Chain A
Amino acid sequence: MNRLFYPVRATYGDYARAAVGLLFTLGPALAIGQWSHAHWLLLPLACLFAVFAFRTWQRARTVVEWDDTGLSISGGGRASLPWSGVVSLKLAFYATGRDRTGGWMQLTLRGNGAKVRADSGAENFPAFAARCAAAAQAKGLALDPATRANFASLGIRLAGDAA
């Protein structure tokens, strides 16, 4: 059984981002006092950062385990998905700079009414991505060009890729 999980240090950055976001939105909203137009902007943004903090906490507890038959999720939600039930696979890259020099990958797998997301900050991400790619190929799923290019950058070759 293989495991994908998020080390504590991998979530520090996102907790810090959520805290800074809340500081810069909830802080001024409280400092202003009486209701003004600015609250219409600041409070929804504060909610967004609060949701981000919650999702980070949920992600930190998530463990994905997989074997030859399928995968199961525990911790931040429960679900299981046999490899034969995979209906779509997408691997996106989100750049943090305009020149795309930094960033992270996010893998999204759907099937059996479940949606599994994993990002490249997790331990064992390349092995998990390789297993998902193999499952998608075994089922003959069509992968979009961006997903193929992102798999290639991880060193995962798919059938039909140029040598």
Chain B
Amino acid sequence: MFAYLVRRLLVMVPTLLAISAIVFTIIQLPPGDYLSTLIAELQSQGEAANLERIEFLRQQYGLDRTPVEQYFHWLFGLLHGDLGWSFEYNLPVSHVIGDRLLLSFLVAFVTVIFTYAVAFPIGIYSATHQYSWGDYGLTLLGFLGLATPSFLLALVMLYLANIWFGTSIGGLMDPEYIDQPMSWGKFASVLEHLWIPVIVIGTSGTAAMIRRLRANLLDELQKQYVTTARAKGLPPRRALLKYPLRMSLNPFISDIGDLLPHMISGAAIVSVVMSLPTNGPMLLSALRSQDMYLAGSFLMIEAVLIVVGVFLSDLALAALDPRIRLHGGATK
């Protein structure tokens, strides 16, 4: 296992280097830079741009250097923990994303818990009661959840929460707590608002997970070892939980790689609709305005989380299911 861990860690290094180069190249691909976008915006509003000042800023931000120089400057900064400078906010990137990162993580984490807590019992029930009224009813609910656009559900939920519970529209807290330090009042306000985005973001994921868990579990339950276990008198609950459920969870462990980046920038459209102070809308805005270090940092954080997520899921799978699938013998 140790050798496996080292090999997987080693694969991560060139992967991350390649991703960093691709991310930087893609951010550089649109013509111009943040300052030329700014000039165009000022001119479209009929304002004159101070070209000398623009040139000074271009030198100041290092935008006059070659892309290769800029890339290595950025990469070396990342190693120092310096994510660069946000042109749009005129602040270090780490300051800009710091608070939002925590709220994004909170929303995503609670959403994941909600998804698992709702999907697992329903998925297991649907598989073990196939073609019953309960299964049909839950399947209908699942398809409704999959088919309903999240932004539409967001608007409906905001309206209902305001009418029924008096919760203020949008955001993750009442307006008086915005930009205030953390307190019990602020925490309670966040909790009061949190359930709406959690349900909105989690609904489609929950429905998808119910369908997949039901299908995986049905496949496992029809295998001979389950029949044998039942024939030998193993209690039904144990015959379900011991191997079939465990085996049907393998795809979910593989999904950890996709889950982690969603903690940072998932559900950007819903966040825009609901005015959530999370990272998704900020990433969209940074990409639009070519705020290259801010956008690049978001994308790099996501890439790191994907690579780490895949690494963790591979380790978990190797530990849970260390089984050869091919019969070509063992080589090193």
| A36: B residues at CB distance < 8 A | 79-81
Q: Mark B290-332, 1 if CB is under 8 A from A, else 0.
A: 0000000000000000000000001000100111111101111
Query: Given the complex of chains A and B, what is the CA–CA distance between A125 and B329 in angstroms?
Result: 11
> Which of the four size classes fits the interface of chain B?
20 to 34
Closest to B310 in A: A98
Distance in angstroms from B164 CB to nearest chain A CB is: 46
| A154: B residues at CB distance < 8 A | 329-330
Q: Mark A89-115, 1 if CB is under 8 A from B, else 0.
A: 000111110111111111000000000
| A48: B residues at CB distance < 8 A | 5-6, 9
Query: Given the complex of chains A and B, what is the CA–CA distance between A93 and B327 in angstroms?
Result: 12
Prevailing SS type, chain A contact patch: helix
A102 touches B331 (CB 8 A): yes
Number of A-B contacts (CB under 8 A): 93
A17 touches B7 (CB 8 A): yes
| B80: A residues at CB distance < 8 A | 32, 36-38
Closest to A56 in B: B3
Distance in angstroms from A20 CB to nearest chain B CB is: 6
Which residues in chain B, 1-48, are within 8 Å of chain A measured between CB atoms? 1-7, 9-10, 13
Query: Given the complex of chains A and B, what is the CA–CA distance between A24 and B2 in angstroms?
Result: 19
A100 touches B9 (CB 8 A): no
Query: Given the complex of chains A and B, what is the CA–CA distance between A149 and B327 in angstroms?
Result: 10
Distance in angstroms from B121 CB to nearest chain A CB is: 27
B323 touches A93 (CB 8 A): yes
Q: Mark A4-27, 1 if CB is under 8 A from B, else 0.
A: 000000100110011011001000
Given contacts A10-B332, A52-B3, A119-B3, contact A45 B326 (CB under 8 A): no
Query: Given the complex of chains A and B, what is the CA–CA distance between A150 and B321 in angstroms?
Result: 11
Q: List 17 A-B contacts (CB under 8 A).
A: A18-B6, A21-B10, A21-B13, A28-B79, A37-B80, A37-B81, A38-B79, A38-B80, A48-B6, A92-B1, A92-B318, A96-B7, A101-B326, A105-B324, A119-B3, A150-B322, A153-B324
* A interface, CB within 8 angstroms of B: 10, 13-14, 17-18, 20-21, 24, 28, 31-32, 36-38, 45, 48-49, 51-52, 55, 92-96, 98-106, 119-121, 125, 145-146, 149-150, 153-154
* B interface, CB within 8 angstroms of A: 1-7, 9-10, 13, 79-81, 314, 318, 321-327, 329-332
Known contacts A21-B6, A92-B318, A146-B321, then 19 further A-B pairs from the complex at CB < 8 Å, ordered by chain A residue: A17-B10, A20-B10, A24-B13, A28-B79, A31-B79, A37-B81, A38-B80, A45-B9, A48-B9, A93-B322, A94-B3, A94-B4, A99-B325, A125-B330, A146-B322, A149-B323, A153-B327, A153-B329, A154-B330
